[in-house]
Amino acid sequence: MTGFALGVDQEEWCGRLRALSAERLRPLAEKGEPGRVNRPLLAALGELGLLERVFASGALELCLLRESLAYGCTEAETALALQGLGAYPVLRAGSEAQRERWLPRVRSGRAVAAFALSEPGAGSDAAALALAAERDPAGGGWRLSGEKCWISNAPEADFYTVFARTGEGPGAKGVSAFLVPADREGLSGEPLDMLSPHPIGSLRFDGVPVGPEDLLGEPGRGFRVAMDTLNLFRPSVGAFAVGMARAALDATLAHTAGRTAFGGTLSDLQAVAHRVAEMATRTEAARLLVYAAAGAYDRGAADVPRRAAMAKLLATETAQYVVDHAVQLHGAVALRRGHLLEHLYREVRAPRIYEGASEVQRTIIAKELYGALAGEVVGQ
């Protein structure tokens, strides 16, 4: 895929989503409490059929959905994305019983899902996680002991996709994935007061019992479940970032074209106009890379890990650049609590860290490039 352009139907759909997110979803988001799961907002996403589309669509449509919602209501976009992130491993690797019990409730917004991978000592290096799954000789299953941290939707989720070390092999080869209901004995958690407005918390596992029926996939194959999920959602994190960048850019265009200064408008100043041009160019480049990665995922291309990493890296770094310069061009008004750019300024920082920090994305890209080179050399 060397280029990207939306069809007329796609453009119209995205326009409807942007309007829907601003008119229907944003009022629900504003009634919510920062740092808490907004269940009425989730229910609305379910009623509108948007949660269903997270699971029924490919990467390209998921990116269009996330970008469009982010433009009008970042809280709605994040609530939708976290449902997908937490439940996608169930869709891909869960048993029929697990899927039947949880996925209809996730799609309708009646059950809150969470993806529990990161730990206090294993964030960017996910293969280094230490949550222990020790064999329970009495029950034929395992007991989970340890902590998870920086988990979106914790501790309010109804179930968690949990990755723990079962020890079939070293590093990533000894990790298994489990579906753990929130009411399971020994599981507790607490919210964390974070910069970004969506809920994030920590979890404590004190001998939490899990059995073979709680496994997602096979023992020792949990890391692959996590990476398959992240390969889909990393480009769509980029789409979220692009949506924020486009919202900031449009706000800046309107502000600089209408604000009088120095005998004209701000847009008459070359320094301002050139900065806006740079913001627009970077945003468009990031958008193209995001949808190229999504198209590669939908085609089943071999280079998805590299493309997904590139898309997330460029889009999140670009969004940070665009929002920061948008604030600068607006001046003090953009720092006032409740202003769109004040909100975006708080939202835009976290995506450069979660689901693999920018430094991790660069490592993935380099590893894929040198790995491909080594393959070519061997082939010669």
**What is the set of domains in the chain, with CATH numbers?**
8-107 (1.10.540.10), 113-220 (2.40.110.10), 224-379 (1.20.140.10)
For residue 380, pLDDT over 60 is answered with no
pLDDT score of 42: 97
Taking alpha carbons only, the member of 97, 102, 122 closest to residue 112 is 102
Looking at 85-89, 139-143, 184-188, 249-253, which range is the least confident one?
Answer: 139-143
Tokens of 109: 């917004």
Give how far the C-alpha of residue 230 lies from the chain's centroid of Cα atoms, to the nearest Å.
9
For residue 378, pLDDT over 80 is answered with no
pLDDT score of 241: 98
The pairing of strands 159-165 and 113-116 is parallel
Give the 3-state DSSP-derived string for 256-286, with helices as H, strands as E and coil as C.
Answer: HHHCEECCEEHHHCHHHHHHHHHHHHHHHHH
Q: What is the pLDDT of residues 20-66, one digit of tens each?
A: 999 999 999 999 998 899 999 999 999 999 999 999 889 999 999 99
φ, ψ of residue 378 in degrees (nearest 5) = -60, -40
- Host H or E run for residue 151: strand 141-152
Q: Predicted confidence band at 191 (pLDDT cuts at 50, 70, 90)?
A: very high
Coil vs helix vs strand at 148: strand
pLDDT score of 1: 39
The overall average pLDDT reported for the chain is: 93
For residue 5, pLDDT over 90 is answered with no
On whether the CB atoms of residues 114 and 152 are closer than 8 A, the answer is yes
Q: What is the mean pLDDT of residues 279-294?
A: 96
On whether the CB atoms of residues 194 and 354 are closer than 8 A, the answer is no
Angstrom distances, CA of residue 183 to CA of 124, 156, 157, 242: 28, 11, 10, 37
Taking alpha carbons only, the member of 60, 95, 42 closest to residue 218 is 95
pLDDT score of 129: 87
pTM, two decimals, is 0.92
Task: Please name the residue that has the structure tokens 């309010």.
Answer: 156
| Residues labelled catalytic | 355
Q: What is the pLDDT of residues 227-277, one digit of tens each?
A: 889 888 888 999 999 999 999 999 999 999 999 999 999 999 999 999 999
Q: What is the pLDDT of residues 144-157, one digit of tens each?
A: 999 999 999 999 99
Q: Predicted confidence band at 2 (pLDDT cuts at 50, 70, 90)?
A: very low
